[in-house]
Structure 1
Amino acid sequence: MKSRVREEAGERIERDMAVSYPSRFAVLQGLASRPGTARPDTAPRARVFVMDAPDLDAHSGALFNGKARPILPSADLDKERVGRFMAASDDLLRRALA
């Protein structure tokens, strides 16, 4: 369950993310290798519905908080840092499964 108070782990990342991210990453990596295998041929294709919201053009619309306000990306998370983070995640998952 998510904490009401933001706490940071020793790596200066939010504790909730430090705990839940590795398990979610492992599950998604497992699912990514077999897209659509659980869906019967007769099942309808998945659909994504987009609802209109004020000022959507100024934001990606990817993430919104509980009050429907956009969650903007952290300034420090540039493409290089995200790439290093994803590479470290892959490495951690490989070592955990070895």
Structure 2
Amino acid sequence: MSRQPCPFDHLTPRELDALRLVILGLSAKEIAGRLGIGWRTVDKHIESIKLKLRARNRSHMVGLALAAGLVEPGSFATMTFEATAAATMKQHPSSQPLRVA
């Protein structure tokens, strides 16, 4: 029995690098600095990723990565997100966390 093709299989190594940094919440300029490329190149990578994954936006890209098992609960990306959320709550105590019914 053959494995179903995964849309992430079609991403280039550089697009995967960019996606990993998007998952961490970095901006295009921050990603550009980490990868040593221009921010416009990063934007092109992100647009290419969105097309290949049929994602509507960055959040949808991250959700697809989570659903595909590319990011595991408890991973660095999840811990970074949780730390960012906690810091936001400290800075803006009136903010309420999202509740899922």
TM-score (normalised: structure 1): 0.25
Greater RCO (Cα-Cα under 8 Å, separation 6 or more) = 2
Greater helix content: 2
Who wins on radius of gyration, i.e. which is larger?
A: 1
What TM-score do you get using the length of structure 2 for normalisation?
0.25
